[in-house]
Chain A
Amino acid sequence: MLRDLSYMLTYSSRLDDYSTLCRALLASSTIVLLLIIRWSSESIAIELTRLILVLSFEFYLASLARGLRGVLAGLKLISLFAIIGALVFCVSYLVGWLAPGPIMLVPGMLRLVSLFLGFSLLFQLVSFQEWRSILSKLGLKNQSVILSMVLSQVPTIIHYLSEAITTVKLKYKGKRLHKVATPLTLLSFLTSRALTESYIVYGLPTYSELTTYKRRDLSLYLLFVILVLLEIMISNLLPLLIEVA
């Protein structure tokens, strides 16, 4: 499950046919769209419909990079969090604690999955090298190097996390799983020191050329425009339809 997650944070060369601008724009616009939906939906029904539309668009983009099976595998872990959240929600409702009610469950879970998928698209659609170039063009050269240093080690850290969980679970008979934080913190220090040594030998990573337009971009832009139009239609027409009904 953790391994699948690490694939969700890596760029796939299947997307080389689309320009950097198109990929970066669509990945970031999707997150903006999700935030707009969160704060501008008048009812749960509207929010739900709009979320499903964006989620479908996210699935389409992610499957261009990973294939649909890869996306579903990567979403397993986050779905687990969503289910745990839902269970906590149900228990809170049953025992009478402050809980917004079971009807809020579905949009809550959808929000979590769509936001996770949205953020993962930032790294699935745009490579670290391209992010470095974009950030350095924005005047954030040092930050871009730090970001790529951190992100390049995410898969390794995920592997360590999986090993640490197995070990600590057996060591403490399934209890005190939070203790995995200690060896992982130490490993992070050791890794960062070794990484610095490797940068001295191999130098800092380079920047890639950013492309602004490729022919296949048009299809994605068109799809995004349709999505936005549908979103506008739903947010304006659906309240009227509900009122009439």
Chain B
Amino acid sequence: MRKGGNCVLEIANLWFKYPNGDWVLRGLDLSVSEGEHVLVIGETGSGKTTLTRIITGSANLIYDGILKGRVAINGISLEENTEAFTSQVALIGQNPYLYFTEPLVRHDLYSYALSVHGNVERAVKALNKAIEVTDIQDLIEKYFFELSGGQAKRVLVAKALISNSQLLLFDEPLMWLDDVGLKDFINLLNILKVLRRSVVIFEHRFMPLIEHVDEVYVLKNGKLTRISNRLHAFKEAGGKVHHGFDCGPNCKSSSNGGNVLLETVDVHFKYRNSSDYVLRGINLKLCKGDLVLLYGSNGQGKTTLLKVLAGYLKPSRGRVTRKTDVIYIPQNVVLFYTESTVEKEVVEICKARKMSDVHVKLGIEAVKKLGIDPMQSPFNLSHGQMVKLAFELARTSNSEILLLDEPFSGLTYGDRLELLRHLVESNCTAIVATSNLDAIGSPYWTKLYKIESGKLVVLNPISSPSLLYASRLYEEIIGVE
């Protein structure tokens, strides 16, 4: 906590475990003062989400966990008065679309303002102020499912401001955000700083945020360790991180000389009700062994292009030639899994392609090599493991082309690098769509493209070691006890 500020959040010697589980948090301490912005980083499963659940009061109310120690906001203890405690905090979760109770943004905000302030006049006043501060005038007449991830998070911050919550929690705020959304989010942090709202951010992708927070902590072994000084020292020693690229001419064809597995010629695509083309003149040649990065902001046509390449959507104009099977792994990787065990996943994917038992056995062996028990449910795996397993299943099925939509979302830098290495070692042919620049600096890509307003352009990366750098930084700091 910074000196001189009023303490907004106070956590002292906090222990927590879920029913029938081990202690997730073990004597955790944290103080956040008025207007202070704190970033908490940690591995998957380190307890970040559990900590947000405790601060919002849901750990006790929904999960029936066992809690020891003191948690208080503005002096109100969680144990003494849960209702008053929870009214002091606002949560902006990973999936912002779950926080809307009305389809129309204006109705949702008004309904919330009315429930907080009691009468129409005060509700309208608070609503107008929140809309003005967060600059969401252009969003309020939209349905929430029309908003991008970044826009939905901006609306939720407006919702938090309506209630005068002193403490705002962001659980993985950069998940699903493209680089434009990232800028929006940083602007929001600056607004909250001016309004002197305390903020706690839980995030894997910490590099873009460390300049914009007051303190950085690592959550490890159930405890928080302050690393702000160490982080700055490491950064100074390691030099600057930069993301750089320039765009070449419109891509006509690119080949590494191998067998061409997929080729598109002048592909245009528009949805039936729309007059605008989502894809315009896409020319792409994918050769065996190519590892292609497709970068673009949200709404530029990445997912549509993947679906056209997969054959799920038919191009309105132009031609797509596929010489092999294609597997699509969606952003929400849970949707890829359909069986109760990993072993059944292998069996079913082979059965659909009339493959022999030998292939099934090889597939199960490959899964074991990943350190995954074939008898466990795929739904119990971590996000990173789920994506890796999906690669492996695709390889087992002899599908030569993998199409991955935002596979890095929600992964630590180390996990991202490991995933990439796994792709390279698997000798896959893959197209990876991403909306974040930090993967561009990886040395593994054989081709890089940017998709902008439906057009594909070749990216020529200048030295951009962000992912490697962040990964090394993360290993360094996460190793600190």
Contacts and interface: CB of A to CB of B under 8 A. Distances in A.
B410 interface: no
B338 A183 contact: yes
B273 interface: yes
Contacts of A216: none
A152 interface: yes
Interface in B264-312: 272-273, 307, 310-312
A95 interface: no
| B interface SS class | mixed
B104 A171 contact: no
Contacts of A127: 102, 104, 107
B310 A160 contact: no
Interface string B112-124: 1011100000000
A137 interface: no
A187 B337 CA distance: 11
B364 to A, nearest CB: 17
A175 B352 contact: yes
Interface stretch (A40-48, A100-108, A194-202, A224-232): A194-202
A201 B88 CA distance: 9
Interface stretch (B6-14, B38-46, B52-60): B52-60
Contacts of B143: 7, 10, 155
A152 B101 CA distance: 5
Contacts of A191: 98
A167 B352 contact: no
Contacts of A90: none
A205 to B, nearest CB: 4
B14 to A, nearest CB: 19
Contacts of A208: 111
B112 A202 contact: yes
Choose among A13, A170, A205, A208 the residue with the greatest number of B CB atoms under 10 Å from its CB.
A170
Contact of A206 (B91, B111, B273, B393): B111
Interface string B305-342: 00100111000000000000111111110111111000
Contacts of B310: 166, 170
A175 B397 CA distance: 15
Contacts of A171: 327-328, 336, 338, 349, 352, 393, 397
A209 B326 CA distance: 53
List 3 A-B pairs, minimum CB-CB distance, nearest first.
Answer: A155-B145, A179-B338, A205-B101
14 contacts: A152-B103, A156-B97, A160-B335, A166-B312, A171-B328, A171-B349, A171-B397, A172-B349, A173-B325, A173-B352, A187-B334, A195-B98, A201-B58, A204-B115
Interface of B: 53, 56-58, 61-62, 86, 89-91, 93, 95, 97-104, 106-107, 111-112, 114-116, 141, 143-145, 159, 163, 272-273, 307, 310-312, 325-332, 334-339, 348-349, 352-353, 379, 393, 397
Given A170-B311, A205-B112, 19 more contacts: A11-B103, A73-B273, A155-B144, A156-B98, A160-B335, A163-B331, A163-B335, A167-B335, A169-B312, A171-B336, A172-B349, A173-B353, A176-B338, A183-B338, A197-B56, A198-B99, A200-B86, A202-B163, A208-B111
